[in-house]
Structure 1
Amino acid sequence: MAFLDAEGLRALGLAAIGEDVRIDADARLIGAQRITIGSHVRIDAFAVISAGEDGIAIGDHVHVAAHCFVAGAARIVLDDWAGISGRTSVYSSTDDFSGRSLTGPTVPDDLRDVDSRPVRVGRHVIVGAGTVILPGVTIGDGAGVGAQSLVRRDVEPFTIVVGSPARPVGTRDRRLLELERIADAR
C-alpha cells in the first residue's frame, strides 16, 4: 500500500482531518470538502467515498477496507471504532425501482424519485465483507453484521445480524468497551 503523505492529505481538501490518518493513494474521495475524518483512521486502496450535500463523517479509529463504496446525498456517519470490511457498500440514496420514475444520474431530477435518508454505523460496529447497507439504516453501537448481508432495517446495539435480508442471530460481548478504555489509556 502507498499511503498519502502529509502534503497529499492536505491536497485532498477535506473539511477536517485528525492525526494518524492513512489514506491509500488509490482511494477516491469525492466531495472531499464535505468529508470529515477523525484520528487513527485508515482508508485502503480502491475505496470510494463520495459525499453528497449532507456530507460524510468518519470518526476515530475507523477502518474502511479495500473496494468499499460509501456514497449518497444524505448524511453518512461511520462512528468511532467502526470497521467496514472489503467490498461493502453503504448507500444513503437510491433510486425508486418501481418503474413510476426514471433512474440514474443522467436523467433530469424532475423525472426521478430518489430516496435519500441518513445512515449511521455506530461505535464499535463491525461490518463483514460484501455487505450492502441501504438508506435510512442505523446500525447500533457494538453490533456485528455478517459477510454478504443486506441491511435494510435498523440493527439493535450489540446484536449480530446475517443474511439477505439481515436478521438477528446472536449478541456481541460488551467487553470491547473495556478494551476501548485500555486502548485510550495507552
Structure 2
Amino acid sequence: MAIYSVEELRALGFASIGEDVRVSRLASIYGASRIHLGDHVRIDDFCVLSAGAGGIKIGSYVHIAVYTCLIGAGHIGIADFANISSRVSIYSSSDDYSGEYMTNPMVSAEFTGVEHADVEIAEHVIIGSGSVVLPGVELGVGVAVGALSLVNRSVEPWQIIAGQPAKFIKRRKDDLLMLADKFLQQSC
C-alpha cells in the first residue's frame, strides 16, 4: 500500500494529524479540513472519507480497512482501538425512503427529507466486513458487530450483535482492557 508522507497529508489540509498516520494514496478524502486523525491510524486503499459539517474524528490505534466509507453531514466519531473491517459503510446522513420526499443530492434540499444524525463508535469496537451503520447510532465500548450486519439502533457496551437488523447475540468479554493497558505501558 503506497501511503502519503506526513508533508503530503499536511498539504491535503486535515484538521489535525497525529503520529504514525498511514493513509493510502488510493483513498478518497473530501472535506479534509473537517477530519481529525489521531496517532497510529491506518486508512487502506479505496476508502472514502467524506466529512460534512459535523466532521470526522478518528482516535488512536484505529484501522479502517479497504473499501470502507464514512459519509454524511453529521459528526462521525471513531474512538481509540476501534477496528472497521473492509466494505463497512458508516452514514451520518440518509435519504428518506418513504416516498414522501425525493431522493439524491442532485435534487434541491427543499424537496428531500434527508436525516442527519451523529454516529459515535466507542473504544474497542470492531465492525465486521460488509456491515452498514446508519445515522444516529452509538456503539458503546467493546461492541462487536458481526459481518454483513445492518446497525440501525444504538448498542450498549460489551455486546456482540449481528443480523439485518442487528440483534443481540451475547455478551463480549472485556479481557482486552487488561491487554490494552499492557500494550500502552510497553508503547510509552
Identity of aligned residues (%): 48
- CA distance in structure 1 between the partners assigned to 2:183 and 2:5 by the alignment: 25
Pairing of 1:70-85 with structure 2 (within 5 A):
70-85=70-85
**Cα offset for 1:93?**
0.4
The TM-score with structure 1 as length reference comes to: 0.99
**Cα offset for 1:166?**
0.2
CA deviation vs aligned residue, 1:51-80 (integer Å, no higher than 9, x gap): 000101000001000000101000000111
- CA distance in structure 2 between the partners assigned to 1:61 and 1:55 by the alignment: 19
Map of 2:43 onto structure 1: 43
Pairing of 1:106-185 with structure 2 (within 5 A):
106-185=106-185
Q: Which amino acid aligns with 2:50?
A: S
Q: Which amino acid aligns with 1:57?
A: K
Map of 1:94 onto structure 2: 94
Map of 1:27 onto structure 2: 27
Map of 1:10 onto structure 2: 10
Q: Which amino acid aligns with 1:84?
A: I
After the TM superposition, which of the residue ranges 3-12 and 156-165 deviates more from structure 2?
A: 3-12
- CA distance in structure 2 between the partners assigned to 1:85 and 1:20 by the alignment: 20
**Cα offset for 1:21?**
0.4
Runs of 4+ in 1 over 2 A off after TM superposition: none
Instruction: Give the match's secondary structure for 1:71.
Output: strand
Q: CA RMSD in A?
A: 0.6
- CA distance in structure 2 between the partners assigned to 1:6 and 1:16 by the alignment: 11
Map of 2:55 onto structure 1: 55
After the TM superposition, which of the residue ranges 168-177 and 122-131 deviates more from structure 2?
A: 168-177
- CA distance in structure 1 between the partners assigned to 2:88 and 2:36 by the alignment: 20
- CA distance in structure 1 between the partners assigned to 2:135 and 2:164 by the alignment: 16
Runs of 5+ in structure 1 lacking a partner?
A: none
Runs of 5+ in structure 2 lacking a partner?
A: none
**Cα offset for 1:3?**
1.0
**Cα offset for 1:10?**
1.2
**Cα offset for 1:143?**
0.6
Instruction: Give the match's secondary structure for 2:4.
Output: coil
